[in-house]
């Protein structure tokens, strides 16, 4: 049996400053052109040229106003503000590519399952089955206030709402139209067979719906489902619904532990451990030689914004670090935001001095620096010892980070038999799992029209 093939996504966001704050000021970074469609279509073509499996586009409704209680640093450093709707990019990027997949983020609280399901099906049709959805339950208070709430719902209740949202969506995607409902019979003037289309019914705690799905069955029906929750409740949700889990990977030991927990959660939900692919978030700075890669990294550090990174981390944890003295203990248990960020900081007992001690490219993801051989060595180690299936490659400088990876690392991984040399055919799910549709172990199967 050969070595595991590594899956590869580009990790992006429809904004200037995503994860590596301050790097937008680097003269080679083009993220300031994120409002231009050419920026995205050029990026899509670059990613497909280097055989990336997909582009994973993050999104977070709301903005980071926790640090110092305002948006000053968020605006000055463009810490995910402004940020545009990621779904608007898909059609254009799909039009200039044939194989690249799209994992697009949407927050459950901001959507209605009836309207959202139609949007996703429409894009699955237009892309010939290349759509994935990164399910987010929301973690920013300002986003909740923007939607008219006083603040975020309690952490676990957000997942309860998401469970029900998925139930409605499954009914629409899987249960409203039969596979043979569309006849396109010109002679008998019958485009769709009425007896093969039915309305779904749902009356729950959070949602009500009684309607026919607005789209006919798309190539995948349900999009490929991504999820990034790593709390206990998040893992249970992931184990039940997700096909791909996205995790932060501060250490290999932490990564291996979390990978095993996620796969066990799938087993606990009546699925198989290999029903879920686990992706780790990594950043890479690479060049033709070790020396050049190190010099590039040191150069990037000169543009990094420590306060921008701290603003992001404050928004992720919900803790205003500006209220603490440099060495004062911080109580991370008050967080109602991303619990894994808070838990990791609590485990390390990180103080404000710790968070500011060392200038870094970001406070969320491990960074690998080196030539193609060294980076490939490290990625293999994270994949094998961390028990990952793939990586979400965070951009440091865009598009340079992806071009460098494609030029120096992809050929090395290919030579080792760890990365494909050509795309397979078919939908995004088929490329990853060998089937266009979700398997019978997935909870969506119970709602199928044709079962």
What is d(CA 135, CA 151) in angstroms, rounded to the nearest whole number? Answer: 20
Cis bond upstream, residue 82 (ω within 30): yes
* Alpha-carbon separation of residue 367 from 19, 282, 297, 397 (angstroms): 12, 6, 10, 13
| Number of Cβ within a 10 Å radius of residue 417 | 12
* Residue 306: predicted pLDDT: 85
Class (C level, CATH) for 7-331+364-443: alpha beta
Q: How many residues does the chain have?
A: 451
Contact 136, 152 (CB under 8 A): no
Complete DSSP assignment for 373-408:
HHHHHHHHHHHHHTT-SEEEEE-SSTTHHHHHIIII
With a CB cutoff of 8 Å and minimum separation 6, the contacts of 13 are 57, 58, 59, 80, 83, 86
At residue 212's C-alpha, the angle toward residues 117 and 57, to 5°, is: 5
In 3D, which of 112, 132, 7, 122 has the Cα closest to residue 57? 132
- What does the alpha-carbon distance between residue 223 and residue 428 come to, in Å, rounded to a whole number? 9
| Cis upstream peptide for 184 (omega within 30°) | no
240 CB neighbour count, 10 Å cutoff: 19
Using CA atoms, how far apart are residues 284 and 265, in angstroms rounded to an integer? 30
The distance from CA 244 to its chain's CA centroid, rounded to whole angstroms, is 9
pTM: 0.92
DSSP β-ladder status, 101-107 and 131-136: parallel
φ/ψ region of 282 (left if φ > 0, alpha if ψ in -120 to 50, else beta) reads beta
Question: How many CB atoms within 10 Å of residue 232?
Answer: 13
Tens-level pLDDT at each residue, the chain (451 residues): 578 999 999 999 999 999 999 999 999 999 999 999 999 999 999 999 999 999 999 998 889 888 898 999 999 999 989 999 999 999 999 999 999 999 999 999 999 999 999 999 999 999 999 999 999 998 788 888 888 888 888 888 999 999 999 999 999 999 999 999 999 999 999 999 999 999 999 999 999 999 999 999 999 999 999 998 778 999 999 999 999 999 988 889 999 999 999 999 999 999 999 999 999 999 999 999 999 999 999 999 999 998 888 888 888 787 888 787 777 777 766 655 455 555 666 666 777 777 776 556 776 789 999 999 999 999 999 999 999 999 999 999 999 999 999 999 999 999 999 999 999 999 999 999 999 999 999 999 999 986 4
3-state class percentages of the chain: helix first, strand second, coil last, to nearest 5: 45, 15, 40
For 254, other C-beta atoms within 10 Å of its C-beta total 17
pLDDT of residue 330: 76
DSSP assigned state of 287: E
Q: Cα Rg for the chain, rounded, in angstroms?
A: 22
For residue 173, which phi and psi values (nearest 5 degrees)?
-65, -40
Whole-angstrom CA distances from 225 to 243, 246, 422 are 5, 11, 24
* Domains of the chain, residue spans: 7-331+364-443
Determine the 3-state secondary structure of 442 from DSSP: coil
**Nearest 5°: CA angle at 152, between 322 and 234?**
100
Within 10 A of 420 (CB to CB), how many other CB atoms are there? 17
Would you state the pLDDT for residue 335?
Answer: 52
pLDDT of the residue at 287: 98
Q: Which residues pair with 105 in a beta bridge?
A: 134
What is d(CA 317, CA 46) in angstroms, rounded to the nearest whole number? 34
The pLDDT value recorded for residue 333 is: 65
Q: What angle do CA 121, 220, 444 make, to 5 degrees?
A: 90
């Amino acid at each position: 049996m050969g070595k595991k093939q590594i899956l590869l996504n580009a990790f992006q966001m429809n904004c200037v400053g995503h994860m590596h704050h301050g790097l937008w000021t680097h003269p080679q970074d083009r993220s300031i052109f994120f409002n231009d469609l050419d920026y995205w279509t050029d990026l899509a073509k670059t990613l497909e040229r280097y055989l990336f499996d997909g582009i994973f586009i993050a999104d977070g409704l709301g903005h980071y106003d926790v640090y110092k209680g305002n948006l000053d640093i968020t605006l000055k450093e463009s810490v995910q503000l402004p940020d545009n709707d990621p779904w608007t990019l898909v059609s254009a990027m799909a039009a200039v590519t044939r194989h690249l997949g799209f994992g697009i983020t949407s927050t459950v609280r901001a959507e209605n399952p009836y309207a959202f399901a139609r949007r996703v099906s429409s894009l699955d049709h237009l892309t010939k089955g290349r759509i994935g959805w990164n399910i987010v339950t929301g973690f920013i208070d300002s986003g909740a206030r923007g939607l008219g709430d006083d603040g975020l719902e309690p952490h676990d209740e957000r997942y309860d709402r998401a469970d029900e949202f998925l139930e409605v969506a499954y009914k629409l995607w899987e249960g409203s139209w039969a596979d043979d409902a569309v006849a396109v019979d010109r002679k008998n003037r019958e485009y769709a067979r009425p007896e093969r289309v039915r309305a779904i019914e749902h009356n729950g705690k959070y949602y009500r719906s009684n309607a026919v799905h607005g789209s006919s069955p798309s190539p995948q029906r349900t999009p490929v489902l991504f999820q990034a929750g790593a709390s206990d409740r998040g893992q249970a949700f992931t184990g039940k619904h997700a096909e791909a889990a996205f995790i932060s990977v501060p250490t290999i030991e932490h990564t291996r532990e979390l990978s095993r927990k996620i796969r066990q959660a799938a087993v606990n939900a009546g699925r198989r451990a290999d029903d879920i692919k686990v992706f780790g978030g990594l950043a890479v700075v690479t060049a033709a030689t070790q020396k050049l890669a190190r010099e590039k990294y040191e150069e990037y550090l000169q543009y990094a914004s420590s306060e921008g990174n701290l603003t992001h981390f404050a928004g992720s944890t919900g803790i205003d670090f500006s209220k603490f003295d440099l060495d004062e203990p911080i109580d991370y248990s008050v967080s109602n935001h991303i619990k894994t960020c808070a838990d990791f900081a609590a485990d390390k007992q990180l103080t404000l001095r710790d968070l500011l001690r060392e200038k870094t490219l970001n406070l969320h993801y491990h960074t690998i620096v080196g030539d193609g051989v060294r980076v490939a060595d490290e990625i293999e180690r994270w994949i094998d010892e961390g028990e990952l299936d793939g990586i979400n490659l965070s951009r440091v400088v865009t598009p340079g980070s992806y071009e460098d990876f494609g030029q120096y690392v992809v050929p090395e991984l290919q030579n080792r038999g760890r990365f494909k040399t050509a795309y397979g055919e078919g939908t995004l799910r088929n490329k990853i799992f060998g089937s266009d549709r979700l398997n019978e172990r997935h909870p969506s199967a119970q709602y199928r029209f044709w079962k």
